[in-house]
Amino acid sequence: MRRVQLRAFHHVALTGSFSRAAEALHVTQPAISDQIRKLEEEYDILLFNRTKRQVSLTRAGRELLDITRRLFDAEDRALELLSENRALRGGNLRIVADSAVHVLPVLAAFQAKYPGVHVQIRAGNSQQVIGSLQSYDADLGVVGEVPQAGDFEHILLNATPITAFVAASHPVAAVASLSWQDLAALPLVLREPGSKTRTMLEAAAARAGVGLTAAIEAEGREAVREIVAAGAGVGFVSRAEFVPDVRLVEIPIEGNAAIMMEEALICLRVRRGGKLVAAFLDLARGLAKDRA
């Protein structure tokens, strides 16, 4: 087994394509195919199911991908360690956030201190954030609840109550607050299953003896915001994430002080020693200490 064979397998598995793997590795597609064929023949194992239109991993292929993710991540971390100064002058840091607003102060401080580092931020609900970290598709995550498993390092970024909001033209826009009973009688615009905001909201309503039903279910915070702005119902967000908008009115939920959305910066413990990850975590700790 050669490293070049594992590298070829790894890129085909990640991209789902022999041609895209060849492009990523700057070699020809026949070269990639040959490395995979030799690896499968040498160990008498099938790593990919091949059809005319797509390539998918077999069970053995999925197990090997779990190993190569860690193998090549460790290789990247070793290179980062050996070229520490260069790592902080360049490199890439990947962040997946259920709401990027909570990490913006840390991001601004990080960019000011390490302007050469390219930071990629993409959106995802809490389940997607954790999945991305576990599959090594992201370096850091921002979630509404710290995972219970001991695999994660975390720093609390923010803690604010959940609030309701409606279009300025909505019939309840002028009320001072909304009770759980009020909400149960109104059309609600809720996030997709897996959203921490929705999970906490429904749990709090259930404790009050009220069931909440979505009139409209939307994926992503921005989608909910635009649907509510159009007058279609009541939306929910943590107070820290409510952005002032002339189209929208924030309405507190009675007794919502108990529904605190804690946003935390998390990473896998095994990856906290990476230079870029460690630098970002250090800045987050410093800002959290200043707020305390």
CATH classification of the domain holding 112 = 3.40.190.10
43-93: per-residue pLDDT in tens?
Answer: 999 999 987 777 889 999 999 999 998 888 888 777 766 665 555 677 889
Q: Does residue 193 belong to any structural domain of this protein?
A: yes
Q: Does residue 222 belong to any structural domain of this protein?
A: yes
What sections of the chain are H helices per DSSP?
3-15, 18-25, 29-43, 59-82, 84-89, 104-113, 126-134, 180-184, 196-207, 221-229, 275-291
Residue 189 and residue 253 share a domain: yes
What's the one-letter identity of residue 157?
A: L
CA distance 215 to 113: 46
Neighbours of 87 (CB within 10 A): 21
Sign of CA dihedral 272, 273, 277, 280: positive
Q: What are the tokens at 100? A: 């990027």
Domain limits for position 252: 158-261
Q: Does residue 212 belong to any structural domain of this protein?
A: yes
pLDDT confidence of residue 106: 94
pLDDT confidence of residue 267: 93
Residue from 161, 164, 165 nearest 263 by CA: 161
Residue 148 and residue 174 share a domain: no
Does position 193 have pLDDT exceeding 90, yes or no? no
Q: Say which range, 35-44, 68-77, 207-216, has the weakest mean pLDDT.
A: 68-77
Residue 179 and residue 99 share a domain: no
Q: Does residue 223 belong to any structural domain of this protein?
A: yes
Does position 256 have pLDDT exceeding 70, yes or no? no
Residue 272 and residue 229 share a domain: no
Q: Does residue 54 belong to any structural domain of this protein?
A: yes
pLDDT confidence of residue 86: 58
Q: Does residue 29 belong to any structural domain of this protein?
A: yes
How many domains is the chain partitioned into structurally? 3
pLDDT confidence of residue 83: 62
Does position 221 have pLDDT exceeding 90, yes or no? no
Residue 268 and residue 124 share a domain: yes
Residue 281 and residue 238 share a domain: no
Residue 170 and residue 225 share a domain: yes
Residue 274 and residue 240 share a domain: no
- Percent of the chain whose predicted confidence (pLDDT) is above 70: 94
What sections of 178-220 are H helices per DSSP?
180-184, 196-207
CA distance 80 to 88: 9
- Assign residue 40 the CATH number of its domain: 1.10.10.10
Does position 214 have pLDDT exceeding 70, yes or no? yes
> From its phi and psi, is residue 220 left (phi > 0), alpha (psi between -120 and 50) or beta?
left
Per the listing, tokens 């009688």 go with 185
Residue 148 and residue 239 share a domain: no
pLDDT confidence of residue 188: 97
Residue 136 and residue 267 share a domain: yes
Q: Does residue 19 belong to any structural domain of this protein?
A: yes
Mean pLDDT on 91-114: 90
Residue 268 and residue 248 share a domain: no
What's the one-letter identity of residue 179?
A: S
Neighbours of 248 (CB within 10 A): 20
Q: Does residue 77 belong to any structural domain of this protein?
A: no
Residue 253 and residue 108 share a domain: no
